[in-house]
Structure 1
Amino acid sequence: MTALRDDTASLPGEGRASLFPVAERFLRRFHEARPKAGDLGTRLAKVRAEIAATGTYRHTPAELAYGARVALRASGWCPDGVPWRGLLVRDLRGVRDAADVAAECARHLRMATGGGTVRPLVSVFAPDTPWRPGPRIRNDQLVRYAGYADGGTVTGDRRLVEFTTRVARLGWYGPAERGRFDLLPLVVETGHEGVTAHPVPRAAVLEVPIAHPEHAWFAGMALRWHAVPVISNLRLHIGGIDYPAAPFNGVYLARSIGEEAFAADRAYGLAPVVAQRLGLDTSSDRTLWRERVAHEFTRAVVHSFDRAGVTVQHSPEAYLPAVEPTGGPAFLRQAQARVR
């Protein structure tokens, strides 16, 4: 997949003294892009006073939408050619309770995949403030399939074995009959409720059954994958303000499903099974059998998504390039909540 904004480096400490210069840089950039947004001097004076009084400030809806769109376009997940206003931003800053966060995340999934045409979307929940942290989502994506370790075998996604184990400590154990595509619950952390797990409604998750355009036996493997990648464990940083829960989605790159999920040993590890069915020589990696299998898996994903009418990209060149954060709006790795 194209590069994802997942940086450990954050901007310098933003106390009352240092927050205003960061806010000012963002607001000047916003007003330069939106000259009809009002008088910049008046806005800067209001923000300066708000920071002096509270240690933080509140973005206007237009500022929030602008910052989120800039960050999404720089994330590496945004398809090229999507118009600026085609990047949807949901202002959910009033949502802080875990159950409400989970419900809005399910709504995000429905909105992003409605009718199969995947739309880039950001849902922005309550920010961190000096007196209260915003909610955090501990899943790396809203939709993930469990990985169950039993002795030396794993059922499901090997990448999620550790997370599945941690979720079990919260009281979730999955269905009685465990399968390869059991939806993991959404794990939400809030300052007043702690860490809680919330089921992701199956009805909110659009899934695509996987078949191959030439090999009918592919369908017999009963594979499927969810339609949209919603990144959920990064914080949205805009003008010195952190929004720790701001799930966003772009569009899947086919090989991130076919090659990185189905074929890879660290995920579902199905490459040897398919290689055997294709009659490939697996005696050495120099026969390039793994590359052949990855290619056939990716072909199957493109074919299946196209047949289902669900958006998928087949080339990394279809995405806007990831942009290194230089102080502007960006999705960054989580920082610790700051509560004073």
Structure 2
Amino acid sequence: MTAIREELIPSQTSPSETAAEDFLRSFHSAHPEAGSLRERLAEVRRSIAETGTYRHTTAELSYGARVALRDSGWCTSGLPWRRLKVRDLRGLRNASAIAGECFEHLRLATNAGRIQPLITVFAPDTPEASGPRIWNEQVVRYAGYSLADGGVLGDARYQGFTATAQSLGWKPPAQRGPFDHLPLVVETEHEGVTLAAVPRDVVQEVPLEHPDHRWFGELGLRWHSVPLISNMQLLIGGIRYPAAPFNTWFVGTEIGTRGLADDHAYGLTRQVAERLGMDTSTERSLWRDRAIVEINRAVLHSFDAARVTITDHHSEALHRLEWLRSGRRPGGSAPAFTVSKAAARRARTGSDDRPAPEARVTGRREPAAAERDASPEERNRPRYDVLARMSRRCLGTDLPQE
């Protein structure tokens, strides 16, 4: 029995009739052309009674994924969620195929900079077998190397993940840098943990420059174009899809504030403030605020100059406020993206305090170590405090929970 199976909770491997019926009624209400609801309910009840689960039609899967994204808090402004493309790859359970399709998803989503929102859905959990897991928080993340002097080269948020990947067999570049791509880590029940190098040709990165300060470009900063979120599980009508990577496009502050400025990530605030000639000896000069604003200006300017889709936090705040005022609230059994505490911890540290499984290390189009996350212990953070949270993000004080 693998680590994946040990994480599962029996009630979560067998969908309840209530959850299935609630979803199907919602689906048929939105799609009256789908046929007889009564016949579909009878078919699903029969399947659950005989096998402990049921299979969504492609139309049901697409509707559930779109609604989940719409209500997830990751549905950025300007995204026509009803036209979101859903890649139905539920037949895939092997790590190499899953990793390859994650890389294909990244290629398709990049779309020469005109970011295409996509969801790729892999095999679900069933009473007989667990679906695959992806450990990485996003398919593209930058390594964080611990230095002898206590510092970090790269993204400090992923020091633990980087060390775990190395212990599982990943070899960093001979010349380590601040923007080295971590391997994709995919876990399957029958294969265990597998690592796969993310192909360079599917990762578009934007070099960062400032509209007013030429020295900013000399810092050698860059960021990847597509936020392909990969460690969240998709719940639809009682069925859990533990690997369902999806993307929209970046909000600028996610890169500028949370990634580059935050002391828990790249920690560039002081360096930029000093280059701006700010007095960093006292907080009363508000040097942090000004530096963070300039970093975010550079991010938006650079993505716009490269013609890569991005949005700003003010537009997103208005978008979320409009969403809250619309009165739409996801119910307890509504389709949703969730992440467990174990999965969130594993995406940062590569471990959830259990013995690490043995891993296979593969090449270019091979799998990345999958994720063993499973139990949906908590849903996304409540969205009623969205504006306050986004303000904290702008100031770099809304740090991820460990």
Q: TM-score band (shorter)?
A: over 0.9
Q: Kindly provide the CA deviation profile for residues 201-254 of structure 1, in whole angstroms up to 9, marking residues without a partner as x.
A: 111111100000000011101100001111111100000000000011111111
Is the Cα–Cα contact under 8 Å of residues 262 and 269 in structure 1 kept in the other structure?
yes
What residue in structure 2 maps to residue 312 of structure 1? 310
| Offset of residue 14 of structure 1 | 4.8
Q: In the alignment, is residue 329 of structure 1 matched against residue 335 of structure 2?
A: yes
Q: In the alignment, is residue 138 of structure 1 matched against residue 135 of structure 2?
A: yes
Is the Cα–Cα contact under 8 Å of residues 271 and 294 in structure 1 kept in the other structure?
yes
Q: Kindly provide the CA deviation profile for residues 132-187 of structure 1, in whole angstroms up to 9, marking residues without a partner as x.
A: 00000000111100000022121100000001011111100210110001000000
Is the Cα–Cα contact under 8 Å of residues 78 and 120 in structure 1 kept in the other structure?
no
Is the Cα–Cα contact under 8 Å of residues 24 and 239 in structure 1 kept in the other structure?
yes
| Offset of residue 317 of structure 1 | 2.8
Report 1:112-261 matches (<5 A).
112-151=109-148, 152-261=150-259
What residue in structure 1 maps to residue 292 of structure 2? 294
User: Within 2, Cα distance between the matches of 1:12 and 1:252?
Assistant: 36
Q: What is the identity, as a one-letter code, of the residue corresponding to 2:101?
A: E
Aligned residues: 328
User: Within 1, Cα distance between the matches of 2:152 and 2:38?
Assistant: 60
| Offset of residue 80 of structure 1 | 2.7
Is the Cα–Cα contact under 8 Å of residues 79 and 318 in structure 1 kept in the other structure?
no
User: Within 2, Cα distance between the matches of 1:290 and 1:84?
Assistant: 36
SS state of the match for residue 16, structure 2?
A: helix
Report 1:47-58 matches (<5 A).
47-58=44-55
| Offset of residue 20 of structure 1 | 1.0
Is the Cα–Cα contact under 8 Å of residues 13 and 240 in structure 2 kept in the other structure?
no
| Offset of residue 319 of structure 1 | 4.5
User: Within 1, Cα distance between the matches of 2:133 and 2:243?
Assistant: 5
What residue in structure 2 maps to residue 6 of structure 1? none
Report 1:62-77 matches (<5 A).
62-77=59-74
Say if 1:180 and 1:324 are closer, same or farther in 2 by CA, change over 3 A: farther
Q: What is the identity, as a one-letter code, of the residue corresponding to 1:213?
A: P
| Offset of residue 259 of structure 1 | 1.2
User: Within 1, Cα distance between the matches of 2:202 and 2:209?
Assistant: 22
What residue in structure 1 maps to residue 358 of structure 2? none
User: Within 1, Cα distance between the matches of 2:9 and 2:30?
Assistant: 23
Say if 1:202 and 1:287 are closer, same or farther in 2 by CA, change over 3 A: same
Unaligned runs of 5+ in 2: 1-7, 341-372, 377-402
Is the Cα–Cα contact under 8 Å of residues 69 and 81 in structure 2 kept in the other structure?
no
Q: Please give the TM-score of this superposition, normalised by the length of structure 1.
A: 0.92
User: Within 2, Cα distance between the matches of 1:15 and 1:113?
Assistant: 34
| Offset of residue 318 of structure 1 | 6.0
What residue in structure 1 maps to residue 262 of structure 2? 264
Q: Kindly provide the CA deviation profile for residues 245-285 of structure 1, in whole angstroms up to 9, marking residues without a partner as x.
A: 00111111111111111111111111111111100011122
Say if 1:102 and 1:27 are closer, same or farther in 2 by CA, change over 3 A: same
Identify which of 19, 32, 39 aligns with 2:16: 19
SS state of the match for residue 182, structure 1?
A: coil
Q: Kindly provide the CA deviation profile for residues 75-107 of structure 1, in whole angstroms up to 9, marking residues without a partner as x.
A: 111123322443111101011100111100001
Is the Cα–Cα contact under 8 Å of residues 117 and 311 in structure 1 kept in the other structure?
yes
| Offset of residue 337 of structure 1 | 7.1
Q: What is the identity, as a one-letter code, of the residue corresponding to 2:274?
A: Q
Q: What is the identity, as a one-letter code, of the residue corresponding to 1:257?
A: I
User: Within 2, Cα distance between the matches of 1:249 and 1:231?
Assistant: 6
Say if 1:194 and 1:95 are closer, same or farther in 2 by CA, change over 3 A: same
**Identity, % of aligned pairs?**
55
Q: What is the identity, as a one-letter code, of the residue corresponding to 2:317?
A: E
Say if 1:193 and 1:318 are closer, same or farther in 2 by CA, change over 3 A: farther
Is the Cα–Cα contact under 8 Å of residues 228 and 252 in structure 1 kept in the other structure?
yes
Tell me which moved more, 117-126 or 313-322: 313-322
User: Within 1, Cα distance between the matches of 2:312 and 2:77?
Assistant: 13
What residue in structure 1 maps to residue 351 of structure 2? none
Is the Cα–Cα contact under 8 Å of residues 115 and 309 in structure 2 kept in the other structure?
yes
SS state of the match for residue 194, structure 2?
A: strand
User: Within 2, Cα distance between the matches of 1:325 and 1:187?
Assistant: 32
Identify which of 19, 37, 44 aligns with 1:40: 37
| Offset of residue 15 of structure 1 | 6.7
Say if 1:12 and 1:35 are closer, same or farther in 2 by CA, change over 3 A: farther
Which segments of structure 1 move beyond 6 Å, counting only runs of 4 or more?
A: none
Q: What is the identity, as a one-letter code, of the residue corresponding to 1:327?
A: S
